[in-house]
Amino acid sequence: MSIYRSDIEELVNKSNKIGILLHDNPDPDAIASGWAMYKMIKIISPEKDCQILYRGDISHFSNKLMIKLLNPPIQKLGNGDLEKVKQYMKDLDTLILVDFAKFGKNAQYPIEYKKNIKAIFDHHEVTLEDLDSDLLEIRKIGSCATIMIKLLEDFEINLQDKSEKNLTTALAYGIWSDTHFFKENDSYKEDIDAFNSIFKNIDFNILNQLINPLLNKERMEALKSALNNSYENKGIGIYNVGLINDKTLFGIIGDTMLNQVGTRGVIIFGLYNTPDEKYYKLVASSRTQDNTLNATELLENTICQTAEGFSFGGKDHAARAEINIINKELVDLEELQSILDKLFVKYKEKINEYISK
């Protein structure tokens, strides 16, 4: 089913307070797509009470830089306090899901409010019968921003106007990052066409800063740890980055290691020092560039078999799993290092088992 301008206009006009919900820890595609949805709603009804909301953290360095440079009107919901989230959401009579299709592990909104979901915009494979809305725009393409650019055109918004440059740059970055730089298995003709349609109004100075963030001291330390704690078997490598404060490093180190000659796939793991939480989070990120090696399956059949309760998500060439693992008050740095060393031994065994199958 497709959603048209008239559908959005009807929905907005009969709504009192609208929440545009992004998945937890939103990425550039979700942020840009939510912003585009907000733009459309404000064109229909400039005074309409409407917010772009998310849970979790925007911790990736490039994503934080995106917020700083482009200033999308997004708002963190609840600051980790579920009761505050419930209190706020009870006044939202209309929920619009953007870049995800239902409440769950990667979108931990109170389940009692799914009755207020009135529209869903997503580009991931989902079972339509499981969704909680009749108003759906679900397309199997590389980026949700691609869907939004087409809808913005239906609203006759001039995406070549200089006043829209921040939005178009955000949408371009959303497409660029979610298609992994237009890799063959992650992008479609629609994504390329959408990117080209806004090409002339992209701020390439900002886009370049987002695509090529500078390495800081912590990143260099994580890279050093990964190089010193690595294992490779038949083109699949596993790397321990240690304890880190910047969640972006799992993806950055993964992309870096994937560029090595002969590498088919990599797994980067370590402990993330989650802000404002009492647990260290074990995070594992996979990257692949061999079409015979699926990043999601690689994590599922190795790291995720060592413990129950992993929060998980991924695509063909990129995936991530994470789980709260250690109470910060119960361990010191030396004990953390010992835990990481033991996990490294266990994960190497799982890699060998996976390859031998």
Tokens of 119: 């529209």
Q: Quick one: 266 and 132 in the same domain?
A: no
Cβ atoms 194, 158 nearer than 8 A:
no
Q: Quick one: 18 and 114 in the same domain?
A: yes
Domain extent for 240: 217-356
Q: Quick one: 199 and 338 in the same domain?
A: no
User: 1 pLDDT exceeds 60?
Assistant: no
| Domain boundary pick from 188, 211, 234 | 211
33-87 pLDDT, tens digit each: 999 999 999 999 999 999 999 998 887 778 888 999 999 999 999 876 888 899 9
| Domain boundary pick from 148, 177, 211 | 211
186-228 pLDDT, tens digit each: 678 999 999 999 999 999 989 988 887 666 677 778 888 888 8
Cβ atoms 63, 31 nearer than 8 A:
yes
Instruction: Supply the CATH number for residue 177's domain.
Output: 3.90.1640.10
Element at 74 (helix H, strand E) = strand 74-76
Least trusted range by pLDDT, from 42-51, 116-125, 254-263: 254-263
| Domain boundary pick from 211, 243, 266 | 211
pLDDT at 130: 74
The residue behind tokens 């790397």 is: 239
Q: Quick one: 172 and 308 in the same domain?
A: no
More confident residue, 165 or 60: 165
Q: Quick one: 19 and 120 in the same domain?
A: yes
Q: Quick one: 133 and 267 in the same domain?
A: no
Q: Give the separation between CA 94 and CA 15, rounded to whole angstroms.
A: 6
Q: Quick one: 202 and 231 in the same domain?
A: no
Instruction: Supply the CATH number for residue 345's domain.
Output: 3.10.310
Q: Quick one: 106 and 13 in the same domain?
A: yes
pLDDT at 112: 94
User: 142 pLDDT exceeds 80?
Assistant: yes
| Number of domains comprising the chain | 2
Q: Quick one: 75 and 197 in the same domain?
A: yes
Q: Quick one: 120 and 10 in the same domain?
A: yes
Q: Quick one: 72 and 20 in the same domain?
A: yes
Q: Quick one: 195 and 66 in the same domain?
A: yes
